Amino acid sequence: MGVLRPVPMRKVRLVGLKRDREAILSTLHDLRVAQIEPISPPALAVIGAERAPEEQRVIGEELLRFRGLKSALPPVPVGRREQFRTRSDVLAAARSVTIDEEVCALRREEDRRTTERASAMTDRELLDRLAFYPGRLEYLTSASVYSFAGEASAEAFETLRRAPELAGTAELLVGPSGETVTFLLIVRREAATALPRFLEGRGVRWTAIPPGWSGTVAEERARRQAIVDAATQRLAEIRRRLAEIAERDYAKVAAIEEALTIENRKLEVYGKLGGGQATFALEAWVPRRDVDRLRAALERVTDQTVVLEILSDAEAAPTLMENPRGVRWFEFFIRFYSLPQANEWDPTLVFAIVFPIFFGLMLGDWGYGLVILLISLWMIRGFPGAHRLPKFGRNFVKMIMGPNAMRQLALALVPGCLVAIGLGLYWDEFFGYPLFARWFGYHATVTPIGNVGLLLLIAGYIGLGMVTLGFLFGAIQEWYTGHRRGAFAKVGGILFAWGLAEFGLAVLRHQTSFTGNPFLGAYVGLMGAGLALLIGLEGVQTGAMGLIEVVSHILSYTRLIGILLASVILALVFNDIAGGQFGAAAPAYLVLGLVILVVGQTFNTILGVFEPGIQGARLIFVEYFSKFYHGNGRGFHPFGSERKYTEPAPAFADVRDATGRRALP
């Protein structure tokens, strides 16, 4: 498990006999520890490129067939996994399945019957609206007229009825009236084409009467109901038959589909291999911890005829982050910013510790913290009951990010909400109201409003610590990559930052006498040493920019208190305005006060999510990451897939390494 560093990787080259190629690829697939890379040009010049066998086309065709079958059958629980020894066994099993014609015919009929029933139900609803029409339906769609069924409000219908454009060209038959008027509009055929444009924007919902209807409304409705009943009955029979087929064959279809998917992936890898007359070669990135396990597995399945060598690490390795479970929630933010390179620091652990502190400090109210915590827990559970929310709210949430990203964000906000609740309880801040002071006479020794200077000092030291940690990681990174000048320049940044911070505090305290402040000389010395290292090793321009950056980045952390004060003051303002309305005698003022309080506190709660979240992440991304982090890494994607319906072949199903650990998961 990698903490502070991505998992160390090794690039390996594997050379084996072609007779063992399928067993080797199957082992690599089920181990899922190797990211197979295109064979390098030097190796390709020696061994040549490999070609996929003709079976690839057959496998692809069968895979499409079984994917269609699997999606067509209703899923059923699968109790036993299948095992296929070779690719030929998979193809033989695929050819033994002959349910395609029946399943496809049933699915086609199901689609046709579903469409037929939906159309008949739509016609039935239209006929229900025309129940007031006493005549025969064929009169409504004759050679000379078109007819439209419509609904409109009483006001819109009255405007439509008096429209001069309809005079002499149309006739209105009015049905039941109330808030909504149902009517039948019969129009001469030559005027029908302009009718839709005429009705647009008039508040009228209209539907054209389809041709082919005959008899009275009741007779035609009975025919449509018969179609619905027949289609419903046939659909039940079709689904019952599909369920019978699925009960018998779904497990087999699912297993073959999975086996074909695996075989297809193995065949796709051929384009990355090198191949000779009797041997083949591949290159892959493997976590260093898994190299011995991989070697043991391959030697077992090939009777020790495979050669596995470790190549040089000159090429940039892919990145695999493996943080502990709680820390892993914050990988979402790191990936959102940029994936670390394999040879640099993984900042997830520091982010997981610092971000909740920043978020909670900027929120600083246990009322807001509790509300955001409950919303976060609701998001983690998958938004139960979200269908009851207004459609606008649901669409707005979906527009921001997907469900999985929302869950990751909620998991990351939970610790920050707990910090906010803890600080809010200490500061006695409940939606800006001093609840404990009014009820129990409790008064905090430190409060956001009463101790601004102390809190700004704490924020400054937090900034100094974060800048120092960033420079420290940068110095270690530069040292181990051979950039010694850069490492000492980072140390210079640390010295200058501490010297400047302490000297600045001495100035603010009016302790600028060398005799009165024995440490003042040390502060000046630190500043001078840092200045010399930065400018001497980075150059005048780059060093000067570095000095300005140090100062601005430390001061930037004072926004932690600025956002806290903004939230507290906004809450006080809303409470005071609403409280002024509650003091009035008129009930209208009481309602107005409640509206102001609810709207204002809701607005401040929304700000309490976005401002601390965005600014907390920004302080880490900009002021901290800029000292050591490059990013732009490429992710580690091992060759393989999860087996749900199949088992590995027995030839390599129980391979163990030298320590006795089972090679295959």
Half-sphere exposure of 658 (CA within 13 A, CB side): 4
User: Angle CA(256)–CA(259)–CA(264) in degrees, nearest 5?
Assistant: 120
Checking if the pLDDT of 594 tops 50, the result is yes
Could you tell me which of 88, 98, 31, 73 has the C-alpha nearest to residue 260?
Answer: 88
Cα–Cα dist 324/338, whole Å: 20
Residue 164 lies in a domain: yes
Checking if the pLDDT of 385 tops 60, the result is yes
pLDDT of residue 200: 74
CA distances from 472 to 98, 486, 621, 624 (A): 67, 11, 16, 11
Mean pLDDT of 468-488: 89
Cα–Cα dist 490/361, whole Å: 29
Query: What is the SS3 assignment for 146?
Result: strand
Checking if the pLDDT of 422 tops 50, the result is yes
pLDDT of residue 168: 67
> For residue 652, what are the contacts with CB-CB under 8 A and spacing of at least 6?
23, 26, 27, 30, 297, 300, 301, 663, 664
Query: What is the SS3 assignment for 274?
Result: strand
Residue 372 lies in a domain: no
Query: What is the SS3 assignment for 187?
Result: strand
Residue 215's φ and ψ, nearest 5 degrees, are 75, -165
Checking if the pLDDT of 199 tops 80, the result is no
Q: Are 506 and 512 in contact (CB under 8 A)?
A: yes
We report the CATH number of the domain holding residue 211 as 3.30.70.2750
pLDDT above 90 as % of the chain: 48
Checking if the pLDDT of 657 tops 50, the result is no
Full DSSP string of 344-398: S--THHHHHHHHHHHHHHHH--HHHHHHHHHHHHHHHTT-TTGGGS-HHHHHHHH
Mean pLDDT of 340-357: 93
Average pLDDT, the chain: 86
pTM of the model: 0.78
Cα–Cα dist 368/604, whole Å: 8
Checking if the pLDDT of 659 tops 60, the result is no
CA 595 from chain centre, in angstroms, equals 35
Cα–Cα dist 518/329, whole Å: 47
Checking if the pLDDT of 133 tops 70, the result is yes
- Identify any residues that bridge with 49 across adjacent strands, giving them in sequence order: 274
Query: What is the SS3 assignment for 181?
Result: strand
Instruction: Give the single-character DSSP code of 171.
Output: E
- Identify any residues that bridge with 188 across adjacent strands, giving them in sequence order: 145
Structure confidence by residue, pLDDT tens digits, 30-85: 999 999 999 988 888 888 888 877 888 999 999 999 999 999 999 999 988 999 98
Structure confidence by residue, pLDDT tens digits, 227-286: 999 999 999 999 999 999 999 999 999 999 999 999 999 999 998 999 888 899 999 999
Cα–Cα dist 82/70, whole Å: 16
Mean pLDDT of 93-112: 94
Comparing 91-95, 230-234, 490-494, 520-524, the range with the smallest average pLDDT is 520-524
pLDDT of residue 665: 47
Q: Are 344 and 4 in contact (CB under 8 A)?
A: no
Structure confidence by residue, pLDDT tens digits, 495-527: 988 888 888 887 777 666 666 666 777 888 888
pLDDT of residue 155: 83
Report the domain count for the chain: 1
Radius of gyration from C-alpha coordinates of the chain: 37
Residue 177 lies in a domain: yes
Checking if the pLDDT of 387 tops 70, the result is no
Tell me the pLDDT band of 658, cut-offs 50, 70 and 90: very low
Mean pLDDT of 487-493: 89
Checking if the pLDDT of 438 tops 80, the result is yes
Cα torsion 417, 422, 426, 431: sign: positive
User: Angle CA(649)–CA(653)–CA(654) in degrees, nearest 5?
Assistant: 160
Comparing 101-110, 117-126, 380-389, 571-580, the range with the smallest average pLDDT is 380-389
Instruction: Give the single-character DSSP code of 49.
Output: B
Q: Are 277 and 138 in contact (CB under 8 A)?
A: no
Q: Are 408 and 352 in contact (CB under 8 A)?
A: no
Count the Cβ atoms, other than its own, within 10 Å of residue 626: 13
Mean pLDDT of 354-372: 95
> For residue 488, what are the contacts with CB-CB under 8 A and spacing of at least 6?
475, 533, 537
- Identify any residues that bridge with 662 across adjacent strands, giving them in sequence order: 656
Could you tell me which of 165, 162, 164 has the C-alpha nearest to residue 191?
Answer: 165
Comparing 203-217, 241-255, 474-488, 503-517, the range with the smallest average pLDDT is 503-517
Residue 374 lies in a domain: no
Where does residue 477 rank: exposed (0-12), middle (13-18), buried (19+ CB within 10 A)? buried
Full DSSP string of 544-612: HHHHHHHHHHHHHTTHHHHHHHHHHHHHHHHHHHHHHHHTSSSHHHHHHHHHHHHHHHHHHHHHHHHHH
Cα torsion 459, 461, 464, 466: sign: negative
Mean pLDDT of 163-182: 76
Q: Are 468 and 494 in contact (CB under 8 A)?
A: yes
pLDDT of residue 55: 84
Mean pLDDT of 476-491: 88
pLDDT of residue 528: 87
Residue 149 lies in a domain: yes
Q: Are 560 and 569 in contact (CB under 8 A)?
A: no
Give the domain extent around 186: 135-215
Comparing 37-51, 349-363, 648-662, the range with the smallest average pLDDT is 648-662
Helix %, strand %, coil % of the chain (to 5): 65, 10, 25
